[in-house]
Structure 1
Amino acid sequence: MLNPPTKRSLCPQCRRPVTACICQWVTSIANVPAVLILQHPLEVNNAKGSARLLHLCLQMASLVEGEQFEEQQLQSLLHAGNQLPVLLYPSTTQNDADDLRYEAPEFVLQGQVPCNLRLVILDATWRKSRKMLYLNPLLQQLPRFSLQDMPASHYRIRKAHAPDQLSTLEAVCYALMQLEQDEGKYLPLLRAFDGFVGQQMGFRPLQINP
């Protein structure tokens, strides 16, 4: 008789199997704009995802799982502390996104006080993030902050459609650098991300060339 499978022990902090714990890469950063991570359900148990590490590292960050949110709940999440929510997302208009009900205003950094901002990130694949945007009209109406001319991603463990297509962690780091006008502050977190990526690469089966 076969023994029933046993559940693997999980780390209580990063929620990963103890053998794949990522807590060694946690680097505490006192971010000034708050960060709200809206995580698609398909990303929750994705070992390659970077959102959990990001959430553990940023002192002012919230992570909420879901695809379509109840309007009152989303309003509370976006406007907690009377901060201005800003969506980190590529620029789109109704001309090239006719499935969206609203055309988002462009976020203008000049004159903004970083501590009064809440950076909102959709942790999902490109396709799923578009669906989250479609299902939540409140997100469509947020000022849109788009990253431009980004360096190549270090995210070697997931397939990207372009060299500068970034992980959630990288995108948030570069956005916070711009919002706070401080590049050096987030370099330790990017170095921690390199360690995380290296760890995940180590779990891949060894490729033997013929």
Structure 2
Amino acid sequence: MKQGCLQPQKQPDKQCNECHLPLFACLCDIIPTLSSAITFWIIQHDNEPAKSTNTGWLIRASMPKTRVFIWRRVLPDTLLLRLLRDSTYQPCLVFPSIYAVAKQPVFTPVSFKKNKKRPVFIIIDATWQQARKIYRKSLYLHHLPLFSFLSNTSSIYTLRRNKHHHHLCTAEIAAAVLDSQGDVQQASVMMSLLQVFCDRYEGAKLGQRPDNYFDVRRITKGVV
């Protein structure tokens, strides 16, 4: 099992620490490692780690270089601030331009290729209302190049209610970033992971035991 996942033989009636699913439906063992030049840094609202419907963990579990920072309004994460100043990386913020401050620089793919820095995409992991607040209160994000896109498809995420069908969950945003940067297969696998997670979550509420073999095929083939 992946690090952080509870051992089912020791605690059969518990939930997994990583995927928050009941252990009979745990997804951790079948999550592949995705290879990509892209790194994700996730700024997470402090309510999210305890939510069983959170999807940011799928990014961390499938892409080990992912870093997660818990957002604090009064005291920003010192490691995050230091990394933002590190010349090794070229971070950009994934966020809707309609909610961004005026004159925030815009991300262009050419910039990564020219400076040969490690591309980092920062995603705010929270509800949409919380994400806007986090952005507004985090002035250190306002100078970063902004990666903004409009989704032409409806979200497949069904575990939380959303006022707008085109608002994507955190894992879907990561998949959209991967796809935009040419990592089409990785994006497809991320979407398949999300679909399997949603299906297992809904099935677990009914006591349904998943078919690992079937779900592995869905994930590895990138079938959503």
**TM superposition score normalised by structure 1:** 0.79
Which whole-Å deviations, capped at 9, do the CAs of 1:120-164 have from their partners, x for residues lacking one? 000001111112112210012211101224322110111122222
User: Aligned with 2:189: secondary structure?
Assistant: helix
Greater length-normalized contact order (CA 8 Å, ≥ 6 residues apart): 1
What is the CA distance between 1:37 and its match in structure 2?
0.7
Amino acid at match of 1:158: R
Does the aligned pair in 1 maintain the 2:21–2:201 contact within 8 Å? no
Once structures 1 and 2 are overlaid, which stretch shifts more, 106-115 or 144-153? 106-115
Once the two structures are TM-superposed, the CA of residue 71 in structure 1 deviates from its matched residue by 6.4
Unaligned residue ranges in structure 2 (runs of 5+): 1-12, 208-224
**Percent identity between the aligned chains?**
22
| TM-superposed deviation, 1:165 | 1.1
Within-5 A mapping of 1:194-205: 194-204=195-205
Note if contact 2:158-2:198 (Cα within 8 Å) is conserved in structure 1.
yes
The 8 Å contact of residues 90 and 117 in structure 2, kept in 1 or not, is answered as no
Q: CA RMSD in A?
A: 2.7
Alignment equivalent of 1:122, drawn from 121, 124, 138: 124
Give yes or no for the alignment of 1:22 onto 2:24.
Answer: no
2:71·2:77 contact (CA, 8 Å) conserved in 1? no
Give the secondary-structure state (helix, strand or coil) at the position aligned to 1:160. coil
- Superposition pairs of residues 56-135 of structure 1, within 5 angstroms: 56-68=61-73, 69-70=75-76, 72-80=78-86, 82-92=88-98, 103-113=103-113, 116-135=118-137
CA contact (8 A) 1:32 1:60 kept: no
Deviations 1:47-79 (A, max 9, x none): 011011211001321112223343643322334
**Is the 8 Å Cα contact of residues 79 and 85 (structure 1) preserved in structure 2?**
no
Query: Which one is further off, 74-83 or 158-167?
Result: 74-83
SS of equivalent residue, structure 2 residue 157: coil
Equivalence for 2:10: none
| 8 A Cα contact 2:43 2:70, kept in partner | yes
Change (3 A) 1:205 1:103: farther
User: For 2:187 and 2:180, how far apart are their aligned partners in 1?
Assistant: 11
Residues 4-58 of structure 1, C-alpha deviations (whole Å, 9 max, x = no match): xxxx645455466535533145221012121101111111111011011211001
Whether the 8 Å CA contact 2:92–2:147 is kept in 1: the answer is: yes
Contact 1:27–1:192 (8 Å) recurs in 2: no
TM-score normalised by structure 2 residue count: 0.74
